[in-house]
Amino acid sequence: MNKRAFIYFGLVALLLVIVIPLWAFNKDGSESSSPEKVAASDEAARQLFVTNCGTCHTLDRAGTHGVVGPNLDDRLAAAGPATDQAAVDATQQRVMTAIQQGVGNGAMPAGILEGSNAQTVANFVARVAGQ
């Protein structure tokens, strides 16, 4: 290999090693389209929602667009502003009831989540619905 070919090869290798991962990384970063930002402390709850509820329900802050069940932003926001603790508590209880008992004769099955996972998701939904 003469020197020029060697340099040329080096440049191409550099391009592959640096530019392509950068491009892929940037592409990833621009995926901000759907999920609204949630606090880092809410990320686990958001993931639980996406996995267990998001296929059926739209919730803007979770970035889900399910249409099998009602849009939870619309359905739950009427309960009151999420800054009012009493309203959040009431909505959380309403979501817990939906999770524990199911809704609409099995249209939403009972017990999709249990225990602390159910509480975590119910609290998250109660705080972010309608925002």
- CA distances from residue 65 to 22, 34, 80 in whole angstroms, order as listed: 30, 9, 22
Nearest approach, Cβ of residue 55 and ligand HEC (Å): 6
Determine the length of the chain: 131
99 contacts ligand HEC (rule: CB under 6 A): yes
Among 25, 104, 110, 111, binds ligand HEC (CB under 6 A): 104
* Tokens 């524990």 found at: 100
Nearest Cα neighbor of 51 from 104, 98, 93, 113 is 113
Of 35-54, binders to ligand HEC (CB under 6 A) are 52-53
Written as one letter, the residue type at 78 is A
Instruction: Tell me how far the alpha carbon of residue 107 is from its chain's centroid.
Output: 22
**Using rule CB under 6 A, residue 79 touches ligand HEC:** no
Which residue minimizes CB distance to ligand HEC? Answer: 104
Q: How far is the CB of 80 from ligand HEC (least distance, A)?
A: 14
Please say which residue, 16 or 66, places its beta carbon nearer to ligand HEC.
66
Using CB under 6 A as the binding rule, whether residue 80 contacts ligand HEC is answered as no
Nearer to ligand HEC, 69 or 80 (CB): 69
Amino acid at 15: L
Residues 6+ apart with CB under 8 A from 96: 118, 119, 122
- Could you tell me the sign of the dihedral formed by the alpha carbons of 76, 78, 83, 85, in that order? negative
- Which positions lie near ligand HEC, rule CB under 6 A? 52-53, 55-57, 68-70, 72, 75, 94-95, 98-99, 103-104, 107-108, 112-113, 121, 125
